[in-house]
């Protein structure tokens, strides 16, 4: 878990820690989290992409985090996820589609981007 932001949790999966299948593991973790929280009215989302990962800050206040477009899109997808839904970026969904078929394909407009994002929305 990278950080808690209000009622959101941001987790990082990258090859240096999660291994070469880190993108697939992130998608599976999103699905597992939604299943574990099935009794709570929460939505879950996951995105992947290139990000700056490292310590940010100065002096004695340093924060290990991820920054970049992929992170921002992930946060926007999270706000799109209704309670009981898992919103996966389509490239992540492709990695788990055989084991988790169904849902609906959508093109989501996210704040700060001209292009829509292709996602798969599954119900937990």
- H/E segment holding residue 123: strand 117-123
Overall number of domains in the chain: 1
Whole-model pTM: value is: 0.87
Q: Please write the tens of the pLDDT for every residue from 14-66.
A: 877 777 899 999 999 999 999 999 899 999 999 999 888 888 888 888 888 88
**DSSP string of 66-118, one letter each residue:** EESHHHHHHHHHHHHPPTTEEEEEHHHHHHHTTTS---EEEEE--TT-SS-EE
User: What is the residue range of 17's domain?
Assistant: 3-123
Q: Please write the tens of the pLDDT for every residue from 69-119.
A: 999 999 999 999 999 999 999 999 999 999 999 999 999 999 888 999 999
Q: What is the CATH number of the domain that holds 52?
A: 3.30.70.1230
């Amino acid at each position: 878990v990278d950080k808690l932001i209000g009622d959101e949790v941001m987790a990082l999966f990258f090859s240096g820690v999660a291994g070469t299948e880190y993108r697939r593991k992130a998608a599976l973790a999103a699905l597992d989290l939604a299943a574990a929280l099935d009794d709570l009215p929460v939505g879950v989302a996951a995105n992947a992409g290139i990000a700056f990962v490292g310590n940010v800050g100065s002096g004695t206040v340093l924060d290990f985090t991820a920054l970049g477009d992929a992170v921002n899109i992930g946060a926007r997808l999270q706000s799109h996820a209704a309670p009981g839904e898992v919103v996966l970026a389509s490239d992540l969904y492709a990695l788990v589609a055989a084991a988790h078929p169904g849902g609906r394909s959508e093109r989501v407009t996210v704040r700060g981007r001209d292009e829509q994002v292709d996602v798969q929305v599954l119900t937990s």
